[in-house]
Structure 1
Amino acid sequence: MRFARYTTAAGSTDAEARDAVVVGAPGQERLHDLRDGTTVLGLAAAGLAAAREAADWACRWSTATDVSDVRLAPPLLPGSIRDFVAFEEHVEAMVGDAGVGDAWYEAPTFYFTNPASLVGAHDDVAVPPGSSRLDFELEVAVVVTGAGTNLSPRAARDHVFGYTVFNDWSARDLQSREMQVNLGPAKGKDFATTLGPWLVTADELEEHRGADGHLALELSAEVDGRRVGHDLLSNASWTFEEMIAYASRGTWVRPGDVLGSGTCGNGGCLAEIWSRTGTLEPPPLTPGSTVRLTVEGIGATENRVVAGPALADVPVVPPARRRARATVDEPRTPGGSRR
């Protein structure tokens, strides 16, 4: 099964999107609305059996809408998004001669990104203020079903609802500055994350699962029609079940939580290529650039880069105020500051 959310009216928000099941061959997809009150996020909580019943009802009782006539919204609005870094080849390229550190091999590290910055499969993506090194990242995301804590990888298999294409857009110059403070990526990743074009339920992709538990899906990235990246999801060093298990350690994963695989290797982003060659070729994305990411068995996203607000046009946040340190017993001025 494939589930999507879409809007038809100009100016409609993602919160107003309709939830639907997707039917039809590639290039001929149609949408059938789910019954009132049924959402993709709700189905992630209810599980695959409920999703199958909801899809059957929609195909029987709701009229079809061509995908070409709508705007695809992100397939769900998750409560949280974790993004891992699971491809060793990608890490090797990014760190260069320094080599992959031992800590990377010990556990599948992730960071949290911003659910409020999600964009749909064909939405425009604006360059964030102050950035001149915009990049994409080719990833796959898993969507969680059922709450769980301290899960084993075996138990986590029952917490996989489905998969979607994930593009973790990156402002490399903003990211580089913030990570010098040993935090981040923060604003380097905060502005846009593509999810789409729809969510494919786990049962649809089982035929691609190998004996090692990995899904052998082909991944491809194109910029302005030129292929720059190509890999297999099965080259990740951890399975999604292992990532879910780690994410649940000492806390909870919840229905609808999204976990990204991290950027694949072999050109999964421009920065990886830049690191290998020592040049900015292919060049950073600029207004007018188009990025198409394709994942076997799921589908493709295609986003156009547009100009965002200039740094000079957004409110100023001043640099830190450098001042002498004061002690707690110093007298204070009426405004509360120490003399």
Structure 2
Amino acid sequence: MRLATIEHAGRTQAAVVAGDAVHPLGVPLLDLIRSGTLPDVPPGPGVPLAEVTLRAPLEPPTVRDFVAFEEHVEGVRRAVSGEAGVPEQWYAAPTFYFTNPYAVIGTGEDVPVPPGCAVLDFELEVAAVIGRAGRDLTPEAAREHILGYTIFNDWSARDLQGAEMRVGLGPAKGKDFATTLGPWLVTADELEPCRDGEGFLRLAMTVAVNGVEVGRDLLSNMGWPFEELVAYASRGTWVRPGDVLGSGTCGNGGCLAELWGRTGVREPPPLRPGDVVTMTVEGIGTISNTVVAGGDPVEIPPARPRPRHRP
């Protein structure tokens, strides 16, 4: 089943996508997920897909983004810090960071260049969406908590990200402006036939800028399958319905920074206003966003030296 959020006739609501039609459900998709019951396809012809506007499939309460592709880590590390190879710690555990759920957008929406950014990038990913709550899950149990999957574009301001991560903390404004989810949520049962012999989802992933393909990979090149990512995320805490867990960026051109790190040249160049980024994942669909000009940053003064008095 494919579950979307649509805007039609002045109303935004969940819908079932069936072929070239959508069948409105009358409630937000997150409410439907939290109810624990997936709908049947409503009777009738539905509304033509071409007549509705697709929004982000849901408004997630949390968004965790992993870094599960070794090839991506190798290329981007060289681009951002100049260091070669993959850190040993990467192999030990599936690392993630929390990004901003308020920055989630859908396919077709414009992406303004974030204030102060001159090196804008995309990141091609797939995300799992949690269907029911759990904590301290085993990978085997975690599979039953995954409702479905969607495409995830983790837009990145590389110059802002590189500067702020020198502090030794995760990315902040380098990631805080836009995350595309879409075009809809494909329930996990639809993709079960795509598993390889090791339990990974073997799905082709491509990304193009202005119609020219710049990246192509397989989702099955992840270092961990999604069940293990969910199990790790639930360690000592809860995952809850609607939580989104990104795979991390795929390799072989899943982002521009990986290519820059391998060649030492910013080619293709950073994204500019007018560029159209299109991502397609086998079995899920296609998302596309246009980069537009953004605003200037509101200046914040640097830290003032303090005397370090104590009470």
Q: Same fold (TM over 0.5)?
A: yes
Q: Is 1:5 aligned to residue 12 of structure 2?
A: no
- Residue number in structure 1 paired with 2:135: 149
- Hey, what does 2:73 align to over in structure 1? 91
Superposition deviation, residue 18 in structure 1: 1.4
Gaps of 5+ in 1: 329-339
Question: C-alpha distance in 1, partners of 2:53/2:293?
Answer: 20
CA drift at 1:85 = 0.1
Does 1:173 pair with 2:159?
A: yes
Alignment correspondent of 1:229:
215
Q: CA offsets, 1:276-301, max 9 Å, x none?
A: 11111100001000000000000000
CA distance in 2, matches of 1:280, 1:294: 24
Say if 2:13 and 2:29, in contact at 8 Å, map to a contact too: no
Q: Does the Cα contact within 8 Å between 1:46 and 1:146 map onto a contact in 2?
A: no
1:17 aligned to which of 12, 16, 19: 12
1:45-194 alignment, distance < 5 Å: 45-47=34-36, 50-51=37-38, 54-56=39-41, 58=42, 60=43, 64-96=46-78, 97-194=83-180
Per-residue displacement from partner, 1:261-315 (whole Å, max 9, x unpaired)? 000000000000011111111000010000000000000001000001122xxx3
Q: Deviations over 1:83-116 (max 9, x none)?
A: 0000001111122353211110010000000000
Does structure 1 retain, via aligned residues, the 8 Å contact 2:155–2:178?
yes
The one-letter code matched in structure 1 to 2:172 is A
Which one has a bigger Cα radius of gyration?
1
1:325 aligned to 2:311?
A: no
2:261 to 268, 275, 281: 275
**DSSP 3-state at the match of 2:308:** coil
| Higher relative contact order (CA closer than 8 Å, sequence separation 6+) | 2
SS of structure 2 residue aligned to 1:243: helix
Counterpart position of 1:298: 284
Shift of 1:186: 0.9
State the TM-score, normalized to the length of structure 1: 0.88
Stretch moving more, 266-275 or 319-328: 319-328
8 A Cα contact 2:106 2:180, kept in partner: yes
Deviating above 4 A after TM superposition, structure 1's stretches of 4 or more consecutive aligned residues are none
State which of 12, 24, 30 in structure 2 corresponds to 1:33. 24
What residue is the counterpart of 1:243 in the other structure?
229
Matches within 5 A, 1:201-216: 201-216=187-202
Structure 1 counterpart of 2:144, one-letter code:
D
SS in 2 for 1:184: coil
Residue 248 of structure 1 aligns to which amino acid in structure 2? S
Q: Separation in 2 of the partners of 1:31 and 1:89?
A: 38
The residue number in structure 2 matching 1:262 is 248
CA distance in 2: counterparts of 1:86 and 1:180, whole angstroms: 22
Q: Counterpart in 2 of 1:252?
A: 238
- What amino acid is aligned across from residue 102 of structure 1 in structure 2? E
Q: What letter matches 2:29 in structure 1?
A: V
Shift of 1:17: 1.8
Q: Does structure 1 conserve the Cα–Cα contact (< 8 Å) formed by 2:131 and 2:147? A: yes
Distance in 1 (alpha carbons) for counterparts of 2:263 and 2:50 = 39
Identical residues among aligned pairs (%): 59
TM-score, normalization by structure 2: 0.95
Equivalent residue letter for 1:45: R
- Structure 2, unaligned runs of 5 or more: none
